Amino acid sequence: MENILITGADGQLGSELRKLTQGREDIHCLYTDLGELDITDADAVERYISDNAVTKVINCAAYNDVDRAETDSDAAIRLNVYGPMNLAEAAARHGIYLVHISTDFVFDGTKTSPYHETDRPSPISEYGRTKLAGEIAVKRSGCLSVIIRTSWLYSPMGKRNFVRTMLRLGEEEEFIKVVYDQKGTPTYARDLAEAILHILPQLDATPRYGEVFHYSDEGSCSKAEWAQKIMTLEHPDCDVVPVASTEFPSPAKRPAYSVLDKSLIKTVFGVKVPLWERSLSKAIRLF
């Protein structure tokens, strides 16, 4: 039986993986967060993988406070660079697969068509730079691995995400201002979790070393359009006022455009990708 280590198991993606895998008889999952395993501690990672006979690792752990990373770069580096590096080097020693989750923030957002895996990364924030460095660390380790970049992740399990914020504001305000000049794709964490679990049993058939794949839900929208869809579903009396991002200055720059092309993951692994609006309509009932 597979012993699959899931790090960051208390986060949005990790929580969805936990819900989907608990009770399964074909795999045994080890759910860890900081309290169970500090992935920035290389010795702790090695001991955990050895002691539990881990056969695959899914790394959902990340420092993802985008604005705070600008001033707390040391913490972001530890979790987004050294953490994946420790997991990857341990995976290389044990000959096991690592699935590492990355982000659309590795791109600068200057394109006007979906980003392919072969497009050159050029992050414009400290968060994006640390996540890219984490990708590089995984590749340099030489371990069996795939890297999955995703975007605009949300889940009812998340304490801080766009959907939860919009639902709160929609209940409190008559109108809200939301930026129209940031375009991407909302991704329901459960959809990504299902895609990962679909891919997992296929990995043993082909050795892959740091191959990058993109996954987000299908379609695209601006942040304002996303907010409008949320209000239409839950708070139709709250108006969404589209504004330029200059009205909301923030410590970290966001890519103006970060739509991801999913052709590769669909072709290689047969992953089916739902429309973001459909997934939002299902997910929002659970908030």
Please check the confidence at residue 102 and state whether its pLDDT lies above 90. yes
State pLDDT tens for residues 23-46: 999 999 999 999 999 999 999 999
CB 217 within 8 A of CB 188: yes
Mean pLDDT in residue range 146-150: 99
Query: Which of 156-170, 218-232, 267-281 is predicted with the least confidence, judged by mean pLDDT?
Result: 156-170
pLDDT at residue 160 in the model: 83
Give the distance between the most distant pair of CA atoms in the chain: 57
- Cα separation, 40 vs 237, in Å, equals 46
Among 48, 97, 115, 127, which one carries the catalytic annotation?
127
Please check the confidence at residue 159 and state whether its pLDDT lies above 90. no
What CATH number has the domain spanning 2-159+185-219+259-274? 3.40.50.720
115 is catalytic: no
**Average pLDDT, whole number, for the chain?**
97
- Confidence class of residue 275 from pLDDT cuts 50, 70 and 90? very high
Mean pLDDT in residue range 219-241: 98
Mean pLDDT in residue range 66-76: 97
Mean pLDDT in residue range 186-196: 98
Please check the confidence at residue 271 and state whether its pLDDT lies above 90. yes
Query: What are the structural domain ranges in the chain?
Result: 2-159+185-219+259-274
Mean pLDDT in residue range 51-62: 98
Phi first, then psi, for residue 89 (nearest 5°) are -65, -35
Phi first, then psi, for residue 256 (nearest 5°) are -70, -25
Nearby residues of 271 by Cβ (< 8 Å), 6 or more positions away: 195, 198, 199, 215, 262, 265
Query: Which of 50-59, 142-151, 155-164, 261-270 is predicted with the least confidence, judged by mean pLDDT?
Result: 155-164
The pTM score is 0.97
